[in-house]
Amino acid sequence: MSQTFKLAFRNIGRNKTRSLLSALAVAVGMALLLLMASVMEGEMRGAMQNSIRLQSGHLQIRPASYDENKISLKWEDLIENPERVVEKVTSLPQVTAATPRLIASAILTLSDQSKGVQILGIDPGSAANEPFQIGLLDGQYLQAEDREGVLIGQTLADKLNLKVNDKVNLLMTTSNGDVDEQLFTVRGIYSTHIPSYDESTVLMPIAKAQSFTATENHASTIFVLLQNQEQAEPVAQALNTSNLKVLTWREQNALITQFEDFAGVALIFFYLIVLGITATVVTNTLVMAVFERTREIGILSAIGMKGRGIMAQFLTEAALLATGGVIGGLLIGGALVAYFTVYGIYIGDYGVTGMLFEDHIYAHLTLQNTLSLTIVTYIITLIASLYPARLAARLEPVEALHGLGA
Amino acid sequence: MEVTKVTNATRVFKIGEVETKALRGVNLSVEDGEFTALVGPSGSGKTTLLQLIGLLDKPTTGNVTINGQEATNLNRNKRADLRKNAIGFVFQFFALIPTLTAYENIEMPLLLNGMKAAERKKRVNEMLEAVGLSDRAHHRPDQLSGGQQQRVAVARALATNPKLILADEPTANLDTENGKQVMDIMKKLNKETGVTFVFATHDPRVIGYADRVVTLQDGLITKDSKTNGKS
Angstrom distance (rounded) from CA B223 to CA A177? 121
| Mean pLDDT along residues A81-109 | 92
Q: In CATH, what class is B2-226?
A: alpha beta
What number of residues does chain B have? Answer: 231
Of the pLDDT bands very low, low, confident and very high (cuts 50, 70, 90), residue B222 is: very high
Angstrom distance (rounded) from CA A168 to CA A170? 7
Burial of A15 (0-12, 13-18, 19+ CB in 10 A): middle
Residues in chain B closer than 8 A to A405 (CB atoms) = 47, 91-93, 168-169, 172
In the predicted structure, residue A403 carries a pLDDT above the cut 80: no
Residues in a beta bridge with A118: A105, A201
Q: How near does any CA of chain B get to the CA of A13, in Å?
A: 9
Count Cβ atoms below 10 Å from residue A235 Cβ, excluding itself: 22
Count Cβ atoms below 10 Å from residue A46 Cβ, excluding itself: 21
| Mean pLDDT along residues A272-282 | 90
For residue A97, the model assigns a pLDDT of: 94
Mean residue pLDDT of chain A comes to 89
List C-alpha distances in Å: A363 to A28, A43, A333, A338. 17, 7, 11, 8
Give which of A298, A270, A302 is closest to A376, Cα–Cα.
A270
Which ipTM did the prediction report? 0.87
Interface of A with B in 278-297 (CB under 8 A): 295-296
C-alpha dihedral (A206, A212, A215, A220), degrees to nearest 10: -40
Angstrom distance (rounded) from CA A178 to CA A116? 18
Interface with chain A: mutation pick from B46, B81, B106, B111, highest number of A CBs within 10 Å: B111
**A14 touches B: beta carbon within 8 Å:** yes
Burial of A84 (0-12, 13-18, 19+ CB in 10 A): exposed
| Mean pLDDT along residues A51-79 | 84
Closest residue in chain A to residue B88, using alpha carbons only: A303
Pairing of strands A149-153, A179-190: parallel
For residue A148, the model assigns a pLDDT of: 92
Helix (H, G, I), strand (E, B) or coil at A338: helix
Closest residue in chain A to residue B49, using alpha carbons only: A406
Angstrom distance (rounded) from CA A219 to CA A121? 9
C-alpha dihedral (A374, A375, A377, A381), degrees to nearest 10: 140
What number of residues does chain A have? Answer: 406
Angstrom distance (rounded) from CA A312 to CA A2? 12
Q: Do B56 and A406 touch (CB under 8 A)?
A: yes
For residue A57, the model assigns a pLDDT of: 92
B8 vs A10, which has greater pLDDT?
B8
* Residue ranges with strand state E in B16-74: 18-31, 35-39, 61-66, 69-70
**A126 touches B: beta carbon within 8 Å:** no
**B100 touches A: beta carbon within 8 Å:** yes
Interface with chain A: mutation pick from B42, B48, B56, highest number of A CBs within 10 Å: B56
Residues in chain B closer than 8 A to A309 (CB atoms) = 112
**A5 touches B: beta carbon within 8 Å:** no
Return the minimum-mean-pLDDT range out of A248-262, A265-279, A352-366.
A352-366
What is the 3 state secondary structure string of A182-229? EEEEEEEEECCCCHHHHHHEEEEEHHHHHHHHCCCCEECEEEEEECCH
**B11 touches A: beta carbon within 8 Å:** no
What residues have CB less than 8 Å from A322, skipping those under 6 apart?
Answer: A26, A282, A377, A378, A381, A382
Give which of A133, A129, A71, A125 is closest to A102, Cα–Cα.
A71
Residues in chain B closer than 8 A to A304 (CB atoms) = 80-81, 83-85, 109, 112-113
Query: Which DSSP symbol is given to B33?
Result: T
Residues in a beta bridge with B214: B38, B224
Residues in chain A closer than 8 A to B109 (CB atoms) = 303-304
At A182, give phi and psi (nearest 5°). Answer: -145, 155
Taking a C-beta distance cutoff of 8 angstroms, is the pair A78, A219 a contact? yes
| Among candidates A7, A305, A401 on the partner chain, residue whose Cβ is nearest the Cβ of B80 | A305
**B51 touches A: beta carbon within 8 Å:** yes
| Among candidates B98, B109, B168 on the partner chain, residue whose Cβ is nearest the Cβ of A406 | B168
Interface with chain B: mutation pick from A3, A292, A303, A313, highest number of B CBs within 10 Å: A303
Angstrom distance (rounded) from CA A75 to CA A63? 10
Of the pLDDT bands very low, low, confident and very high (cuts 50, 70, 90), residue A405 is: very low
Query: Which DSSP symbol is given to B43?
Result: T
For residue A404, the model assigns a pLDDT of: 39
H-run or E-run covering A330: helix A307-342
| Mean pLDDT along residues A276-289 | 90
pLDDT tens-digit readout, B27-56:
999 999 999 999 998 889 999 999 999 999
C-alpha dihedral (B62, B67, B69, B73), degrees to nearest 10: -50
pLDDT tens-digit readout, B162-201:
989 999 988 887 788 888 888 888 898 899 888 999 999 9
Query: Domains of chain A: which residue ranges?
Result: 2-51+256-404, 65-241
Return the minimum-mean-pLDDT range out of A194-198, A249-253, A354-358.
A354-358
Residues in chain A closer than 8 A to B51 (CB atoms) = 398, 406
Residues in chain B closer than 8 A to A296 (CB atoms) = 97-98
Interface of A with B in 297-336 (CB under 8 A): 298-307, 309
pLDDT tens-digit readout, A190-249:
999 888 899 999 999 999 999 999 998 999 999 999 999 899 999 998 887 777 889 999
Query: Domains of chain B: which residue ranges?
Result: 2-226
Closest residue in chain A to residue B112, using alpha carbons only: A305
Taking a C-beta distance cutoff of 8 angstroms, is the pair A195, A351 a contact? yes
Q: How near does any CA of chain B get to the CA of A387, in Å?
A: 19
Rg value, chain A, Cα: 31
For residue B137, the model assigns a pLDDT of: 94
Give which of A62, A14, A76 is closest to A223, Cα–Cα.
A62
